[in-house]
């Protein structure tokens, strides 16, 4: 008979050791088990400080890079109108607007009747740049601070941060560079609003 202190957490920890998932916190696993009904295959969500997905019925972390890749890769059909995106201009438009070229043209045509059009275009560009700065910063910080055991990307490749990296020094550099860029972009955004 199991002792009372032998909890589910311990079972999960043992299972993690067996499956090689030593980096997975048991606390998170318990949270996940409680929530299994809430997430289904292919879902992506953030829990704690990590992004998770369920693939082949296994909960696993998604590296920031996978998230970025997903943002850049296009689905086959436009989420807005459902048409297949195969035109040359669909790709660059999808990247920015998450819809096909035709949908963007239609949206912007409607917008043109209002004087907010120019502001919209400028803000869109700046906000997109800010998003990229945020994503890159957290991705780089993640990569540097990831433990030596490495991490598994969505396609199952174990990525490892190799070499004697000065984590503090690099983290500082990344934060500084991101902050400088962010400040510059935000100033631009505010200037545009004031104009």
Q: Which is nearer to Zn ion, 59 or 99 (CB)?
A: 99
Q: Which is nearer to Zn ion, 24 or 78 (CB)?
A: 78
Tokens (6 digits) for 40: 């289904």
Q: Contact, 55 vs 143, CB < 8 A? A: no
| Nearest distance, CB of residue 86 and Zn ion, angstroms | 12
| Nearest distance, CB of residue 36 and Zn ion, angstroms | 35
| Nearest distance, CB of residue 96 and Zn ion, angstroms | 13
Q: Which is nearer to Zn ion, 104 or 140 (CB)?
A: 104
| Nearest distance, CB of residue 68 and Zn ion, angstroms | 23
Binding residues (CB under 5 A) for Zn ion: these are 78, 80-81, 99-100, 103
> Using CA atoms, how far apart are residues 130 and 63, in angstroms rounded to an integer?
20
> Using CA atoms, how far apart are residues 68 and 64, in angstroms rounded to an integer?
6
Q: Which is nearer to Zn ion, 97 or 181 (CB)?
A: 97
- Sheet strand arrangement including 50-55: 44-47, 50-55, 58-62
Question: Is residue 103 exposed (0-12), middle (13-18) or buried (19+ Cβ within 10 Å)?
Answer: buried
């Amino acid at each position: 008979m199991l002792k009372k202190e032998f909890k589910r957490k311990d079972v999960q920890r043992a299972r993690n050791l067996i499956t090689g998932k030593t980096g997975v916190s048991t606390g998170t696993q318990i949270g996940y088990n409680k929530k299994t009904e809430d997430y289904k295959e292919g879902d992506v969500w953030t829990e704690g400080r990590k992004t998770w997905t369920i693939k082949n019925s296994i909960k696993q972390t998604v590296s920031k890079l996978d998230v970025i890749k997903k943002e850049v890769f296009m689905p086959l059909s436009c989420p807005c109108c459902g048409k297949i995106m195969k035109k040359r201009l669909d790709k660059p438009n999808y990247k920015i607007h998450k819809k096909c070229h035709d949908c963007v043209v239609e949206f912007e045509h409607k917008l043109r009747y209002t004087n907010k059009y120019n502001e919209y275009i400028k803000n869109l560009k700046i906000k997109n740049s800010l998003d990229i700065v945020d994503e890159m910063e957290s991705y780089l910080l993640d990569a540097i601070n990831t433990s030596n055991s490495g991490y598994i990307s969505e396609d199952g490749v174990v990525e490892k941060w190799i070499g004697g990296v000065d984590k503090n020094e690099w983290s500082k550099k990344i934060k500084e560079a991101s902050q400088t860029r962010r400040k510059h972009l935000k100033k631009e955004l505010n200037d545009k609003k004031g104009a």
